A and B are shown apart, each in its own frame.
Chain A
Amino acid sequence: MPGVEGFMYPNEIELQWSVLIVLYPFLTGLVAGAFILASLERVFRVQAVKPTYRLALLTALSFLLVAPLPLQLHLGHPERSFEMYLTPHRTSAMAMFGFVYVWYLMAVLVLEIWLDYRRDIVVLSESTTGWRRWIYRMMTLGSHNLSERALAIDERVGYLITVIGIPSAFLLHGYVGFIFGSVKANPWWSTPLMPVVFIFSAMVSGIAAVMVLYMLMTWSRGRSIDMRCVDTVARYLFYTFIIDFSLEMLDLIHRIYESDESFRSLDFMVHTKLYLSHIVVQIVLGTVTPIALLGLTQVVKLTEMARKRIYALAGCLTLIGIFAMRWNVVIGGQLFSKSFLGYTTYKMGLVTREGLLVAIVLTVLPLVILWVLVKLLPPWTERNSGLLPDARAAH
């Protein structure tokens, strides 16, 4: 049979989870990571990263809004997905997705963004005209009180939500890791390290995404990049990446040393069908190279321009590497037979419901949403930028 080597159980030849299921953990990882970066400023008082605080929150929201779409498109019966809320099966790791998602979206992210922007929204609802005014008036939700006491309450509640948000971000993505890690039938997935690796890889991807977006947006606005900020963000990225890589290596060493019944099969897969995406893209290009580049900036005194270029390159490579990691987990976990006697091939469609085109659209869509959000709620802290300083002046 074409695409099949050795023996697969006959029902295994067709892969069940496609590139869309690769996108799902990639998108939720960016959400969780971006939020953790935002919490650095809010909870841990790392003032240097303040310029990225609001951008990180808006980035998290943009990606979170798109995160369920690949799942919906993948379901055989998307019209029944609401049953997960009505009759969740308590023993299923997947059943909690809806609740975790709604909790994170409504109780954490939207609420925190609204509280943080409330003052700006009220000011903008009075200073703008036309359709913008109507949008801002709706966004105030009827709360126009800008007294010092009201703003102090916003600040306190916002802080509390961020504190709750940190374990929620861990829950959001650790839970995604558990969906894979708890499948005992699949030795490629079944490891208690999976949720922890997912959390740290999420932090890595989220921090890298916000760092690259901040640099790109600041450059496109013709402003100067706050080097103290990106130096700090890059340092956190470096530390988190080292933890993430160590965990992945721990998993690898453990597998090699134990060499259980699945090892020969998985080892063969990594050296053949997954060689390019796992060894070359994920480990060499997407992990070791950015760690080395970021490490270089920590030990060698480089010029500002050199650091900017290194951060941009390392950030992009990191995102490619984390996407490859999701690919290798999801697709790699389905390429070998549970009989450990054979391998199949993933054939991605181009213009099908779960094909490449849809995957590209779903990757670009959060960036479009982010562009709209940034226009509507400018996250910039410099004076005379975006809508708000003008509005404040008018006020």
Chain B
Amino acid sequence: MSISRRHLLLLLPAAAVAWKHVLAGTPESSPNYTMSQHWWGMLIDLPKCIGCGNCVRACQAENDVPDGYFRTWVERYHVSDYDIENPVVDSPDGGKKGFPPAKEESGKNFFVPKLCNHCVESPCTQVCPVGATFVSPDGVVLVDKQYCLGCRYCVQACPYGCRFINPKTDTAEKCTLCYHRITKGLTTACCENCPTGARQLADLKNPKDPIHEFLKTHSVQVLKPNMATHAKVFYAGLDGSVR
């Protein structure tokens, strides 16, 4: 079959559109990064968190997170001695500007930074009807915003409230563990800006990562273990009242 000039003129734009569609799914290149050599998570050493909100501000600046939505946020818990099952929690503007002085004096107050738990068995990935949400080979739960329908099923399915719909893109959004940074050998924006080192990026496949020593010598817990999501954000010093 011979292709006439007219056919070629018609085919070229179609091929360009198809090629653009193929390229849309190509991740940003990082030549020195091999996905199979990493397995990312995060360690949060709760007694070190001072609730300054640096992590929230850094995340919003780094990832252009719209106001009123959060890829990471900080909660303040007040647990009374007499009612440990009913903590009083606040997180004004996600803790972005820190916290006002605590009202209650009795009991205990502490801060809990939250972010996507990058679950191995992530419910959000399970429910996405088109596979726009996926777990990368290096263990990071990501969203392909070129493909997301904006059906919001993943937002409903996340037990931790980590997802939202970005009003600019009308697609699901969440913490990417600063994937654009960690694949270039950097740490996340929140970890880099934490003044006390309460947040530590962890590469569970790297035997030299300090996380291994920490896990050997400390008790850690994940949020909502009953959800069996195999979360990879580990909390040291987590109080039983935290939800």
The A contact surface, by secondary structure, is loop
Known: A94-B151, A183-B156. A9 touches B130 (CB 8 A): no
Nearest residue (CB) in A for B92 is A1
Residue A159 interfacial (CB < 8 Å):
no
Nearest residue (CB) in A for B228 is A184
Contact of A92 among B94, B129, B160, B171 (CB under 8 A): B129
Whether the Cβ atoms of A89 and B151 lie closer than 8 Å is no
Residue A147 interfacial (CB < 8 Å):
no
Residues on A with C-beta less than 8 A from B147 are 80, 83
Residues on B with C-beta less than 8 A from A182 are 127
Instruction: Tell me how far the C-beta of A185 lies from the nearest C-beta in chain B, rounded to whole angstroms.
Output: 4
Residues on B with C-beta less than 8 A from A340 are 243
Residue B189 interfacial (CB < 8 Å):
no
Residue B163 interfacial (CB < 8 Å):
yes
Instruction: Tell me how far the C-beta of A39 lies from the nearest C-beta in chain B, rounded to whole angstroms.
Output: 30
Residue B177 interfacial (CB < 8 Å):
no
In Å, the complex CA distance between A10 and B174 comes to 13
Known: A11-B161, A76-B148. A16 touches B130 (CB 8 A): no
In Å, the complex CA distance between A68 and B128 comes to 18
Residues on B with C-beta less than 8 A from A91 are 125-127
Instruction: Tell me how far the C-beta of A74 lies from the nearest C-beta in chain B, rounded to whole angstroms.
Output: 8
Residues on A with C-beta less than 8 A from B84 are none
Instruction: Tell me how far the C-beta of A5 lies from the nearest C-beta in chain B, rounded to whole angstroms.
Output: 13
In Å, the complex CA distance between A89 and B157 comes to 15
List which B81-129 residues lie within 8 A (CB) of chain A.
Answer: 87-91, 93-94, 114, 123, 125-129
Residue A95 interfacial (CB < 8 Å):
yes
Whether the Cβ atoms of A11 and B129 lie closer than 8 Å is no
Encoded as 1 (CB less than 8 Å from any B CB) or 0, chain A from 327 to 358 comes to: 00000011001111100000000000000000
Residues on B with C-beta less than 8 A from A183 are 123, 127, 156-157
In Å, the complex CA distance between A182 and B127 comes to 9
Residues on A with C-beta less than 8 A from B128 are 89, 92
Whether the Cβ atoms of B160 and A17 lie closer than 8 Å is no
Chosen A-B contacts, 7 in total, with CB atoms closer than 8 Å, are: A9-B114, A16-B152, A75-B149, A75-B151, A76-B150, A92-B131, A185-B158
Show the binding face of A for B, using Cβ within 8 Å: 7-12, 14, 16-17, 71, 74-78, 80-81, 83-84, 87-89, 91-95, 97, 179, 182-186, 333-334, 337-341
**Known pairs A9-B114, A17-B156, A185-B157. 9 more at Cβ < 8 A?**
A7-B90, A7-B91, A9-B160, A10-B93, A16-B152, A16-B165, A83-B147, A92-B129, A93-B127
